[in-house]
Amino acid sequence: MRPRRWIALAAVAAVAACGGEPPRAPGALRQESQGSGAVELTGAGSTFMYPLFARWFAAYAEHHPVRVNYQSIGSGGGIRQFLEGTVDFGATDVPLSDAERARAPGALVLPVVAGSVAITYNLPQIKAPLRLDGPTLAAIFLGVIRRWDDPRLRALNPGLALPARDILVVHRTDGSGTTAVFTAYLSQQSPEWRQRVGQGTSVRWPVGLGAKGNEGVTNGVRQTEGAVGYVEQIYARQNRLPMAEIRNRAGEFVAPSREAVEAALATVDVPANGDLRLSLLDRPGQGVYPIAAFTFLLARQHMDDCRKAKALVEVFLWALTDGDALARELGYAPLGPALDRAVQARLRSITCGPQRQPTLSTR
């Protein structure tokens, strides 16, 4: 997932330029003057998380001597670098598989925020939002439903005058978490999709054109009447793209939004086995948008360097509490109280140093 970089840049610039909202603590200047004493953390991974991370870390650095260098190289790269131990933390839109987890025994996989995937389309004559359900969506992306006036689409949209046009599917061609979430949803909704295509950051698409990034898909859809594609929800909203309403388990048609993702989050229970690699797909409940997913932080249960460990734990404890407002502002859905507690407890359990002491007890 890759929302536009300039938002992040603008956010960083805004935070750096005005910084006026919270008045500066008297100690802030002193801390900054001790710049060489700042703790440096490095992270890598999800491009979807980049705008939020940039904003979080910049806001945090204003009052704390912690510099976080986050490289948005993609979830796959983030997982690899984390497993190889070249970064202090990773961020990924796709949770670690069991095999990957076995390679990193002390890895913590913790949800941080959630987002969703929007279905956008180009049907100028349709005024009301298009309505779709999972199996129909799978049939479109499988190439089984090839025209907009297909009876199955008409049955879902009785009020709309769907045109007698061919459907052109536009998909992401660069490996992405957005694709992983979308194909996981289609796999869950359609046995045929699961069998013929499956899920992953890159898959073998039965039909359609491949476009690079959210912007490429958007452009592909805009340029061709009758096109349909999927993009990251925040991106779709910022660019005011038409977004389809998807049928959830309660039978409602829900448009993608932060609120609809928060509704899905509210239905998630913390599992007893403590494995927080959770799914947000097609949660039961009112007002839930079905194509939603978590983004995960990858951290280590034990770190050798106590200064780094402490900084890491504190940054993310701050992000999950005070950082919620910033997340909402950018369109990400914060976890909600129950999950927050579980993730925070896990962060607090991180140990450091030769004695393996709890990080937060160190000075």
Partner 1 sequence: MLRWRHGDGLYRGLLWVLGAAVPLLFVALLARLVGAALPALRRFGVGFLLGHTWDPVAGQFGGLPFLVGTVASSLLALLLAVPLAIGLALFLTELAPRWLATPVAFCAELLAAVPSVVYGLWGLFVLVPWLRIHVQEPLAASLGDVVPLVRGPAYGVSLFSAGVLLAIMIVPYIAAVAREVLAAVPTAQREAALALGATRWETAWKVAMPYALPGLFGAVMLGLGRALGETMAVTMVIGNRPEIPVSLFQPAYTLASVLANEFAEATDDLHLAALMEIGLLLLLLTLVVNVVARLLVWRVARRWRAA
3-state secondary structure the chain: CCCCHHHHHHHHHHHHHCCCCCCCCHHHHHHHHCHHHCEEEEEEECCCCHHHHHHHHHHHHHHCCEEEEEECCCHHHHHHHHHHCCCCEEEECCCCCHHHHHHCCCEEEEEEEEEEEEEEECCCCCCCCCEECHHHHHHHHHCCCCECCCHHHHHHCCCCCCCCCECEEEEECCCCHHHHHHHHHHHHHCHHHHHHCCCCCCCCCCCCEEECHHHHHHHHHHHCCCEEEEEEHHHHHHCCCCECEEECCCCCEECCCHHHHHHHHHCCCCCCCCCCCCCCCCCCCCCCCCCEEEEEEEEECEECCHHHHHHHHHHHHHHHHCCHHHHHHCCCEECCHHHHHHHHHHHHCCEECCCCEEHHHCC
Closest approach, Cβ 222 to partner 1, in A, equals 10
Stretch that binds partner 1, among 211-219, 230-238, 319-327, 329-337 (CB under 8 A): 211-219
Q: Choose, by CB under 8 A, the member of 10, 12, 38, 73 that binds partner 1.
A: 73
Taking CB under 8 A as the binding criterion, the range among 130-138, 146-154, 202-210, 323-331 that sits at the site for partner 1 is 202-210
Q: Is 199 in the site for partner 1 (CB under 8 A)?
A: yes
226 binds partner 1 (CB under 8 A): no
- Nearer to partner 1 by Cβ, of 219 and 362: the residue is 219
Closer CB to partner 1, residue 212 or residue 249?
Answer: 212
The yes or no reply on residue 143 touching partner 1 (CB under 8 A) is no
Considering only the stretches 14-22, 74-82, 154-162, 251-259, report the one whose residues sit in contact with partner 1 under the rule CB under 8 A.
74-82
163 binds partner 1 (CB under 8 A): no
Interaction of residue 177 with partner 1, rule CB under 8 A: yes
Minimum distance, C-beta of residue 199 to partner 1, in the bound complex (Å):
7
The count of residues interacting with partner 1 (CB under 8 A) is: 36
Contact with partner 1 (CB under 8 A): which of 120, 136, 201, 233? 201
Chain residues that interact with partner 1, rule: CB under 8 A: 73-77, 79-80, 94, 97, 100, 166, 168, 173-177, 197-205, 208-212, 216, 219-220, 223-224
